[in-house]
Amino acid sequence: MMDYLPLNDCLLLRQANKDLKRIVDSTFQRPSTHPQEKFEAELGIELNRDFSKRNSLRKGQGLRAFTEVELLSRDTSTWLVPQGNPWLIGHVVLDLRLLQESNRFRLLISRFGIHISSLTVLVHCRNEDNPERMVNLLLELLSTANFPNLQQLRLKGFVKNECVQILSEGVEAFSEFPKLEALNLIDLNVNLGRGDDYGHLALPFLEKYGPQLKVLHCQSSLVQSRNLSLDLLNNLLPSVCSLEVGLGLGSNGIAKLSLVGWKIKHLAVHVESVKILKVLNNFSPTLAHLRLNCRYLLDDLDLEEMRPLMELKQLTVSYFKRSIGSLSNFIGRCCPNLEKFCWDGGYMEMTDVEAKDFAEKLKLLFGLVPKLRKTVFRWYNGEKRKLLCITLRRDECV
């Protein structure tokens, strides 16, 4: 019902009685349920912050942008003022150093924790005189804070090698987070010593929350860890369907991903090895959205060994060549049901004229794939110092 009511009526309905207030709050507290929008938001790809009614309401009513609060400032006075619409809080970015300096942030978390659905915690141990203190603050936050509606957790920063043991042993005491379904460790870096294994840090997280996770963003060293066997990956992550793997995926990690029993629908991978074909073949029955970050990989793929990605609806490629020959072969032979294609050339510098000429070449893709509706091309303009975008639609090009 809420999807069809005008925004002003939703606000009035919220004030009628406690039961209606609860219904409206719970409705708007939920993030978008559209799977494509949700995955793009999780990966930070093509994120359109206007897709939810919650954001439209905020803009229409002139409310503070609580959908993404960055707690990076010592001035918390504006956030501690009671808000009339607490369900507008969605994603919170929290710098742990602020918890160290002020109890006011603990008050903020305790007041709004129940409404937070997504949390990013910045962990800075690299230049700290007392890195153990920073890790203990993280343990304190995630062990005592009340986040019953938390769905996405992201840890970002740097942990010194001497603190890994403290963190890994403390994960067991973390709160349960019954609604948690997305864990992002891709930007949690560790200064490992010789012979140390990243899996020693990540394994406690997977043992604690793995069975309930649907989305996992991780460094390649997690997949390649000798502490995580193929059987252990299958057992710890039985429900994962969205996966992003960072830079450096080697033969050992590719071998595991080519045999793991996950039904992956959304995959983002940074790779240069042709062996990635085995991973794509493994996930081909369910793969609906693929983001492939590579330099020249498409030139070397043997498409005769690749199964068609029959379920693939969206493909995003970061590619360093201005030729579309290898790309068109890949799409034409392996992506028969593709509906949207994005060429992310953010690392390629072009003038506007060069970009428009290249976009003309991309129109050829509409002739290769009958179901392709839209092609997006991004590039970097050095003169303007910004990323620019051209969108091509079938009904306008064919």
Q: What is the reported pLDDT for 112?
A: 67
Which tokens belong to 295?
A: 């330099």
Q: In this prediction, what percent of the chain has a pLDDT beyond 90?
A: 31
Which range among 96-105, 122-131, 285-294 shows the weakest confidence by mean pLDDT?
96-105
Residue-level pLDDT at 396: 82
- pLDDT digits over 43-86, tens only? 433 333 334 555 555 454 444 433 344 454 444 444 433 343 44
At residue 103 the predicted structure's pLDDT band, cuts being 50, 70 and 90, is low
Cα 398 to Cα 212: distance, rounded to the nearest angstrom: 45
Q: Give the DSSP per-residue string, 267-295.
A: EEEE---TTHHHHHHHHTTT--EEEEE-S
Residue 341: the pLDDT is 93
Over range 169-173, report the average pLDDT.
91
Reported as a single tens digit per residue, the pLDDT across 146-155 is 888 888 999 9
Q: Tell me, what's the pLDDT at 105?
A: 66
DSSP string, 152-166: EEEEEEEE-HHHHHH
Lowest mean pLDDT among 78-87, 133-142, 187-196: 78-87
**Domains in the chain with CATH codes:** 1-49 (no CATH), 64-240 (3.80.10), 287-398 (no CATH)
Alpha helices in 191-258 (DSSP H): 199-209, 220-223, 230-236, 251-257
The residues that bridge with 218 in the sheet, in sequence order, are 245
The angle that helices 131-144 and 161-170 make with each other, rounded to 10 degrees, is 20
